[in-house]
Structure 1
Amino acid sequence: MALTKYAATSWTIDKAHSAVNFEVTHFFTPVNGEFNNYEATVNFDPNNLEESMIDVKIMVNSIDTDNERRDGHLKTADFFNAEKWPHITFKSSDIEKTGDNKFVANGTLTIKDVSKEIALPFTLLGMKDNPMKENTIVAGITASTTVDRTDYTVGTGDWASDAVIGDEVTVDLNLELNSKKGNSSTK
């Protein structure tokens, strides 16, 4: 008798309880921001990493540093050039377990016209029945990584010097995910 194999669970992001944040230094002081508009396909099951995947698309025009003038500048060709490259994407190639509830999504991060392989470590904070939504499972994931903005030609040219803006940008993802019970398909 053949065993039925179930695909990794398909999750939707609860954007009211999720965030895509970043931090970079300006002179010595950390400046925080976020991207308010993003989409993600998350198929994840800690017991079926072979069929798990993460695919994220961030809309550059949704950048928000709580400073309208700075946000406008970040959208220009000096930085993200949102008109020409409106999205930042991450597509996982594989996901591996690195410890108790610790994982890493290996994949390609594309900013502007530059694509680089990165490792995105993340923690599964928990999974349980959602008491607010019948037949729904809720999960929490947090991820953090550091990227060098100059690798992606973000803020090069006049902004290449790290005397004003730091090269390293810390990116934090805090995601609350929901899935309908039985939301995986048989193969």
Structure 2
Amino acid sequence: MKTLNKLTTVIALSLFALSSLALTKYAATNWTIDKAHSAINFEVTHFFTPVNGQFNDYEATVNFDPENLEESMIDVQIMVSSIDTKNERRDGHLRTDDFFNAEKWPHITFKSTSIESTGNNEFVANGMLTIKDVSKEISLPFTLLGVKDNPMQENTLVAGITASTTVDRTDYTVGTGDWASDAVIGDEVTIDLNLELNAEK
């Protein structure tokens, strides 16, 4: 009888341990951006011709695990003053209150509220994009290009993510007065993120 009771106790404890393990949520992997191999680019038309630019200074918190999207999140903060279109005069104008007003609103931010899978290595981050004093919900589709051991850093994983979306600059009052019209500068701005990420194993 004692042996049976011990066996019953062991089975009960084992089942409890297994059920507790199944209910445990592991935090999504925390990734850091390798800025030397990453970029935040944009494109907008001037009359008929696409003009490209980028933001050179940004910070991001990326917690991502394709097997744990519930706890995954992306939080990006872009420094407006780092705008770079390879033309100093134009960059200076873009920082003024005609466009971004970098002195008053120094950051562009995107904070995800949820991340969903849309296919094989395809995802969409739903969240809030804030430019100047305007915040709007957007969906940012992105592709996980791959994950592997980083041969250049021991005990480190490397991953690649590319994302692209289009926003209407007038929704965020980027371009005021004469610059609000699309006669010279197009309304639609395409934003592309190419991120190389590293994480400890």
The normalised TM-score by structure 1 is: 0.96
Q: Deviations over 1:105-163 (max 9, x none)?
A: 00000000000000000000000000000000000000000000000000122111111
1:165 corresponds to 2:185: yes
Question: What is residue 125 of structure 2 aligned with on the other side?
Answer: 105
The normalised TM-score by structure 2 is: 0.89
| Whole-angstrom CA distance in 2 between matches of 1:157 and 1:136 | 50
| Whole-angstrom CA distance in 2 between matches of 1:55 and 1:43 | 9
Percent identity of the aligned residues? 86
1:130 to 137, 150, 170: 150
Structure number with greater Rg is 2
Q: Which amino acid aligns with 2:122?
A: K
Q: For residue 5 of structure 1, report the CA deviation from its aligned partner.
A: 2.6
2:45 to 25, 37, 41: 25
**Unaligned runs of at least 5 residues, structure 1:** 182-187
Q: Which amino acid aligns with 1:63?
A: I
Question: What is residue 175 of structure 1 aligned with on the other side?
Answer: 195
2:64 to 31, 41, 44: 44
Report matched runs for 1:110-125 at 5 Å.
110-125=130-145
Bigger relative contact order, structure 1 or 2, given CA contacts below 8 A and separation 6+? 1
Question: What is residue 6 of structure 1 aligned with on the other side?
Answer: 26
| Whole-angstrom CA distance in 1 between matches of 2:25 and 2:136 | 33
Moved over 2 A (4+): none
Secondary structure of residue in 2 paired with 1:173: strand
Q: For residue 35 of structure 1, report the CA deviation from its aligned partner.
A: 0.1
| Whole-angstrom CA distance in 2 between matches of 1:8 and 1:105 | 15
1:72 to 69, 75, 92: 92
Aligned residues: 181
- Normalized per residue, the structure richer in helix is 2
Secondary structure of residue in 1 paired with 2:91: helix
Secondary structure of residue in 2 paired with 1:110: strand
Question: What is residue 53 of structure 1 aligned with on the other side?
Answer: 73
Q: Which amino acid aligns with 2:155?
A: N
